[in-house]
Amino acid sequence: LTLVFIGDGAPTANYGYTNSGYSVYEEENERLTESLRTKVSAIKSLSIEIGTEVKNQNKMLSEMDNDFDSTGGLLGATMGRLRTLSRGSQTKLLCYMMLFALFVFFVIYWIIKLR
């Protein structure tokens, strides 16, 4: 242990760190700190990009939800009109089918009678 007095007589201890491995460890620590800083910066920018993408996707999903709601309303109204049409015209449709069946029956009867 060597004590050296500097200036006003305060001793400084030279523990052999200056020219030994201390500077190597300090340089490695600085290098690792800089590497960690760049990795943290990359993760920060990536998380910001992910947040932006999530906001855009949520906006698009919201717009799609609104579109599907309006399409569902339009389809529901169309189905309601179709049900109204089918309820009112069932008797007409049944009458047309009966008349067609009678017509076919008379045509077949007439063909058989002519033979």
Concatenating the DSSP letter of every residue in 58-85 gives HHHHHHHHHHHHHHHHHHHHHHHHHHHH
Report the pLDDT value the prediction gives residue 16, as an integer from 0 to 100. Answer: 47
Say what the pTM is.
0.46
Three-state secondary structure string covering 4-62: EEECCCEEEEECCCCCCCHHHHHHHHHHHHHHHHHHHHHHHHHHHHHHHHHHHHHHHHH
Which residue type does 115 have? R
Domain boundaries of the chain, sorted by first residue: 23-89
pLDDT tens figures, 32-87: 999 999 999 999 999 999 999 999 999 999 999 998 888 888 888 888 877 776 67
Q: Which amino acid is at 38?
A: T
